[in-house]
Amino acid sequence: MQILNKTGLAALVTTSVALAAIAPQAAWADKHTGKSSMSGSSVQADLEQRLQMMEDEMRALRSELSRTRHEAQAASDKVEAHQQQMDQHLAESTSGDDTKKDLIFFRGGFGSMEHPRNNELLLNNDTLRGLGVSSQFDAKDGDGWYVGAGFDHRLTDNLWGLTDLVALDGEVMFEYKNFGTSHNPLVEGATGTIAAQVLGSAAGPVAGVTSIENQLTQFTLTASPKIKFNGLGDFRPWIIPFGLALHVVSPPSSGVTVLNPGLMLGAGGEYKIWKDIYAGFDFRYHFTGDDLSYKANLPAAFGGTTLYNKTKIDGLTTGAYLGFGF
């Protein structure tokens, strides 16, 4: 199109020059010879026709240039709009990458066992008094406290594309629970029996030689999926539909074993208090199996009395936590 336009302009200039050169000659010929008036008229008509054609070509050229300019402007606007859209997507993507989606948290609060640990082989057992145990045992109520920590790892922001309202994390957590002190009657009884042998007592075990206390504690390690609900601003409620828990108890059970697996359920919520710092609360309940359900009963002929209770550690924890995004 540019070559055509340059050609047209060159033709226009050439024709103009030709007109300027021919017009005086034609006029001089008409004036002095009187023979070429018809020829001059033809030349004039031919020039006018050429001028008209050139004007038409110029109008067509201007129209083409105008159309081309509009098309170029439209294309430029389209490219600019696409560039703005790409910049917006890039900004959103960058902003999303800066958001701390993983969380490390530190917990603490109240813990309670559904079945308090009493009258077991290694704690608070009055049956062993005949062996020289004289401590007055206080029955435990199963209440205590806990501290722990854990972290959440983001698995998906939108439940793998199903909904933007739900995110899924994987949680790994540990906690230490303390339910107070108890007495170890087995060690106290054995100590009294040994003392009787050392002292040569003919009356049997020597009671009250020593009193052995122990801490009634529990360590729990859990792994679970955690469903967090989006769309509530800085507040994120969550639930744990199920989770695997491993409990280690101290003192050991009446069967002298310590490890007990179980199932954990939980619910809670957290609020972003500043930048990537969260304050939250939670409630968790633990169901355990019968791995520690060892007990000892006297035969029915002797009354069927339970000498040692089984260890049942189902229970709950509830409290607060402080989390840091990373």
pLDDT digit string (tens) for the chain, length 326 residues: 444 444 555 555 555 545 444 445 544 444 444 444 456 688 788 888 888 888 888 888 888 888 888 888 888 888 888 888 888 877 665 554 456 889 999 999 999 999 898 888 888 877 766 555 655 667 788 999 999 999 999 999 999 999 999 999 999 999 999 999 888 877 776 766 666 656 655 555 555 556 678 899 999 999 999 999 999 999 999 999 999 999 999 999 988 899 999 999 999 999 999 999 999 999 999 999 888 877 777 777 766 777 788 888 999 999 999 999 99
CA separation for the pair 146, 282 (Å, rounded): 13
Beta pairing partners, 246: 221, 261
Which pLDDT does position 304 carry in this prediction? 72
Dihedral over Cα of 154, 322, 248, 283: its sign = negative
Report the amino acid identity of residue 159.
L
| Sequence spans of domains, the chain | 2-95, 101-325
What pLDDT is stored for residue 286 in this prediction?
A: 97
Q: CA 74, CA 68: separation in Å to the nearest integer? A: 10
Tell me which architecture the domain covering 101-325 has in CATH: Beta Barrel (2.40)
Cβ pair 206, 191 in contact under 8 A: no
pLDDT value of position 54: 87
The confidence score (pLDDT) of residue 208 equals: 52
The CA distance from 309 to 115, in Å, is: 11
Distance of alpha carbon 37 from alpha carbon 30, whole angstroms: 5
Q: What letter does residue 130 receive in the DSSP assignment?
A: G
Distance CA 186, CA 207 (A): 13
Beta carbons of 178 and 211 less than 8 angstroms apart:
no
Position 199 scores a pLDDT of 60
Q: What are phi and psi of 261, to 5 degrees?
A: -80, 165
What is the Cα–Cα distance from 314 to 114, expressed in whole angstroms? 6
